[in-house]
A and B are shown apart, each in its own frame.
Chain A
Amino acid sequence: SQQGEEDPQALSIQEGENATMNCSYKTSINNLQWYRQNSGRGLVHLILIRSNEREKHSGRLRVTLDTSKKSSSLLITASRAADTASYFCATDESGGGNKLTFGTGTQLKVEL
């Protein structure tokens, strides 16, 4: 079964705006990761946040994690057309041995 549920399913914004997508999960985790998938391509790792961290930044990306609510959010600031892709959260469950469980993804479209 899917561990992560993401919302929104689809998001369309203008270039320069910020994009926020959310992920909820069900069980205890070691860490939560975000991946990007361009159309017709494999997934690319973006950022990882450990269960004892609350917020993490990488360039234009900001990830938050609330383990009490079992939720995470990914914020992309000053979006660009090149950010158009699907974004997936993935959870590494406690005792899961690096096995990831992926959410259903958010399709982001950034328009010029």
Chain B
Amino acid sequence: NAGVTQTPKFQVLKTGQSMTLQCAQDMNHNSMYWYRQDPGMGLRLIYYSASEGTTDKGEVPNGYNVSRLNKREFSLRLESAAPSQTSVYFCASSEYLGPPEQYFGPGTRLTVT
């Protein structure tokens, strides 16, 4: 039982390049989330998916797209990376109608030069 897994762990991109961050959970959770964490800012919600087939914007969605591929997987795409997107990205999952606590992956550290 791996919980929430994220790939890759580290990535360096040049400005304008694209990439997809992958997230998978094996807890049969309905809801999944993408956050970014910047120094001194706590976590900010980028996008979330309350259940399979739905996605909604969070606090900071600009420059990102998401895909809820199936119940297990939720990917985050940067179409044209910018230095302002240098951050640590966390994926999380939770029950939709059950206990509201979220379970987090280990994070992806992204640097855009």
Which A residues have a C-beta under 8 Å from some C-beta of B?
1-2, 4, 30-31, 33, 40-45, 48, 88, 90, 92, 97-105
Give Cα distance in the complex from A80 to B42, angstroms. 24
B100–A43 contact, CB under 8 A?
A: no
B41–A104 contact, CB under 8 A?
A: yes
Min CB distance A39 to B, Å, is: 11
> What are 10 pairs between A and B in contact, CB < 8 Å?
A2-B44, A41-B106, A42-B105, A43-B43, A44-B104, A45-B102, A98-B31, A98-B50, A98-B94, A100-B45
Interchain Cβ contacts within 8 Å, total number:
61
Min CB distance A27 to B, Å, is: 14
- Neighbouring B residues of A44 by C-beta, 8 Å: 104
Q: Which residue of B lies closest to A1 (CB)?
A: B59
- Neighbouring B residues of A45 by C-beta, 8 Å: 101-103
Given the interface pairs A42-B105, A44-B104, A45-B102, the reply to whether A88 lies near B42 with Cβ below 8 Å is yes
B74 interface hit (Cβ, 8 Å): no
Min CB distance B60 to A, Å, is: 10
B41–A2 contact, CB under 8 A?
A: yes
B52-72 residues with Cβ-Cβ distance < 8 A to A are 58-59
Min CB distance B9 to A, Å, is: 10
Given the interface pairs A98-B31, A98-B50, the reply to whether A41 lies near B42 with Cβ below 8 Å is no
Q: Which residue of B lies closest to A4 (CB)?
A: B42
B40–A104 contact, CB under 8 A?
A: yes
